Amino acid sequence: MITQDQLASLASRLCPMSVMLDSDGVIESAGPTLQKLRPDALMPGRGFFDVFELNRPRNIRTMEDLLKVGSLKLHLRFQDEPQTSVKGALVPLPGGKAIVDLSFGISILDAVRDYDLTSADFSHTDLTIELLYLVEAKSAAMEASRQLNLRLQGAKIAAEEQAFTDTLTGLKNRRAMDHILDRLISSERPFSIMHVDLDFFKAVNDTLGHAAGDAVLQKVASVMVAETRKSDTVARVGGDEFVLLFEGLVDRKRLDSVAKRLITSLEEPIPYGGHKCEISASIGTTICGRDCYADAVALLHQADVALYAAKRAGKACHYFYEPGLEAESISGAPAPEEESAGSELAGLDRPAE
């Protein structure tokens, strides 16, 4: 006949979350996994109801009451913190004793996390092992999905950024400028448009090649960014044409100051390959105040008319759009064309000292 010690050992191996109770409801032995939940408080010798609070069935306070439960499922939790919930099934033994086998139920994930449990803490036939494997597999799949989504989101952002960026200068491109301009018009906030065209840039390309022209454009871009606010938009809309959008800035003196600073900065010789590239800029500005009802096409046309007037005035200057400029651009002389590479060589492409 099996002894009580042998029965306790067998129960611990087959049911590592079980407790054996004597006829008074005192814990005689506890499974290794259950004891692991309270490593600093040995369970043997303590009353079952001192360790656990029985939530259902209710009004169970003694061992005699507990034995009457029969096959009903027990819903318990620890008396002390953390008050982990467990479920149990009672098996009566001769002499008024009993074995109560416990499990975590749906609280298994919290228990594994809180008590650092592993597969070795459960019976080999316990479905909890399969559940843990499924949870780990699900977690790995979700992490892989999250990483993939992050990469896809990053690729989407990069593609959108590329679609709105001029690859040579890093400035906004024409598409981005159109989008921002439409947003400004829709917001009905005042803003201004500055159209910048480089003077003598063709001579740089003709005398030193397109690589020199690219270097000049990159320098021009850095100058424009340095001379504008972070909230302003600087876009390259053509070979040597740029559009600057100033949200909330419609003061003519401030805009004229910005334009003059740009011209002065752009007239600084740009070194390239032992040469100095000299350019300048003509600038036309139109203002869209609170009473402005023009659309994007009309506003860009106004800035272009002002730029044309600056070109006709001899380049390297700044004009604001005025309604009369349109008539002058029709009846006046054509704007000076870029000089040929040969005539510009002396002034625009000098060997660096």
Provide the annotated active-site residues: 240
Extended strands (E) in the chain = 18-21, 27-30, 52-56, 74-78, 85-93, 97-103, 191-199, 233-236, 241-247, 270-272, 275-277, 280-288, 318-320, 349-351
Q: What is the largest CA-CA distance in the chain?
A: 122
Contact 293, 186 (CB under 8 A): no
Q: Residue 346 contacts by C-beta under 8 Å, 6 or more apart in sequence?
A: none
Contact 316, 282 (CB under 8 A): yes
The residues pairing with 74 across neighbouring beta strands, listed in sequence order, are: 88
Among 104, 91, 98, CA closest to 36 = 104
Rg of the chain on CA atoms, in Å? 41
